[in-house]
Amino acid sequence: MITQKYIENSKELGENLKTARINSGLSQDVASKLINLNRSSLSYYENGRNIPTIFTIIRLMGIYKIDINDVILVDNRK
């Protein structure tokens, strides 16, 4: 049986968001402009200093072309 581990804190969420952005080939500046977000806010999310709203997460998922599981699950392959 495979069990999935969900993120437990804002740092893990931020790491997942940063990885998704990098994998999509976008800079923080470009990504933030695409969803009309201040670049410093995106940086705070990626560094675990703030937690984005679900609406911001959905918008980021759209531009990164990722699934919610890519954001909320811990990558056990690390």
How would DSSP label each residue in 25-53? Answer: T--HHHHHHHTT--HHHHHHHHTTSS---
List the structure tokens of 21. 């952005």
Q: Which residue has the higher pLDDT, 77 or 17?
A: 17
Look at residue 73 and give its three-state secondary structure.
Answer: strand
* Whether pLDDT at 16 is above 90: yes
Protein fold of 10-71: 434 Repressor (Amino-terminal Domain) (1.10.260)
pLDDT band at 77 (very low <50, low <70, confident <90, very high): very low
Residue 71 · residue 16 · CB < 8 Å: yes
